[in-house]
């Protein structure tokens, strides 16, 4: 066999990705680039849509210098933005906000937004959006911008595992919540969870083992996981440093038929 005939590593398609009716695991290297008209000089990695079974959409935007939304966008849906890296600018209802890593923003349904990157370095931003489920007698939440550094870290159930509630779980004005869960090495859930909420999970740092249904998956920073309602789930933090992830879940609404 000549050198030209030697097959490259990975030719047998070894990979960590998995898509089932109950969950999906998507390492970043396997998500092909998408494009959205009106969002320029931006690599769009689509992580979740109704095509996957989700009732929300989650995208990772890698916005190059001078790129982003060319004009204000208003698709009638509510949006949540979280800055993974870089210093993008977000306009909400005509007001500019200069963002940095850890910044996040909520735009209520029908609010015009424009996210763009005027800086030299690229910006990476998680964008979550979904239709708003109105609740009789409850006004929708107003748009706002904040930073994870302003949010208290709450210890629940076990030491070494904290929550940060970026969107408040118990406020009925919100029909979804966004949390940051952090685990010290060796920490884990107190039980295998099975619940009605669906999840979109983006690994921010560290690594760990995720039990989904009956399958174990090792995950690292930048991986995305989708969990359908009632999918059994359990996380165990491995490695030498803290593991944390951004977590979407639907809340505060009755069951529909």
Tell me what pLDDT residue 253 has: 95
Per-residue exposure over 51-61, b if at least 16 CB sit within 10 Å of its own CB, e if not = ebbbebbbbbb
SS (H, E, C) the chain: CCHHHCCCCCCCCCCCCEECCCEEEECHHHCCCECCCCEEEEEEEEEECHHHCCCCEEEEEEEEEEEEECCCECCCCEEEEEEEECCCEEEECCEEEECCCCEEEEECCCCCEEEECCCCCCEEEEEEEECCCCECCECCCCCEEEEHHHCCCEECCCCCEEEEECCCCCCCCCCEEEEEEEECCCCECCCCECCCCCEEEEEEECEEEEEECCEEEEEECCCEEEECCCCCEEEEEECCCCEEEEEEEECCCCCCC
Tell me what pLDDT residue 156 has: 77
Q: For the chain, give every domain's residue range.
A: 15-250
pTM higher than the cut 0.75: yes
Share of the chain above pLDDT 90, in %: 88
- Across the beta sheet with 18-19, the strand order is 18-19, 23-26, 224-227, 199-205, 243-250, 176-183, 161-165, 154-155
Tell me what pLDDT residue 2 has: 52
Q: Which CATH class is domain 15-250?
A: mainly beta
**d(C-alpha 29, C-alpha 123), whole Å:** 18
Tell me what pLDDT residue 5 has: 67
Tell me what pLDDT residue 11 has: 67
Tell me what pLDDT residue 1 has: 42
pLDDT in tens, 2-17: 556 666 666 677 789 9
Q: Give the chain's residues under pLDDT 50.
A: 1
Tell me what pLDDT residue 15 has: 85
pLDDT in tens, 151-205: 999 987 778 899 999 998 889 999 999 999 999 999 999 899 999 999 999 999 9
């Amino acid at each position: 066999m000549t050198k030209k005939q030697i097959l490259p590593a990975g030719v047998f398609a070894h990979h960590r990705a998995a898509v089932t009716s109950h969950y999906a695991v998507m390492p970043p290297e396997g998500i092909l680039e998408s494009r959205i008209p009106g969002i320029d000089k931006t690599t769009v990695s689509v992580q979740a849509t109704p095509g996957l079974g989700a009732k929300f959409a989650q995208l990772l935007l890698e916005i190059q210098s001078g790129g982003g939304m060319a004009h204000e966008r208003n698709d009638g849906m509510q949006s949540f933005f979280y800055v993974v890296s870089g210093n993008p600018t977000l306009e909400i209802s005509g007001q500019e906000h200069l963002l940095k890593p850890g910044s996040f923003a909520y735009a209520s349904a029908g609010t015009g937004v424009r996210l763009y990157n005027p800086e030299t370095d690229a910006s990476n931003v998680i964008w979550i959006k979904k239709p708003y489920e109105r609740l009789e007698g409850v006004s929708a939440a107003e748009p706002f911008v904040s930073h994870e550094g302003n949010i208290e870290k709450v210890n629940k159930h076990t030491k070494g595992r904290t929550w940060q509630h970026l969107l408040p779980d118990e406020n009925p004005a919100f029909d979804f919540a966004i949390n940051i869960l952090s685990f010290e090495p060796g920490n884990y859930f107190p039980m295998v969870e099975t619940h009605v909420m669906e999840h979109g999970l983006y690994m921010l740092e560290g690594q760990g083992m995720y039990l989904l249904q009956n399958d174990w998956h090792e995950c690292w920073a930048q991986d995305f996981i989708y969990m359908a309602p009632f999918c059994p789930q359990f996380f165990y933090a491995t490695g030498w440093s803290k593991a944390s992830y951004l977590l979407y879940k639907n809340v505060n609404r009755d069951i529909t038929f």
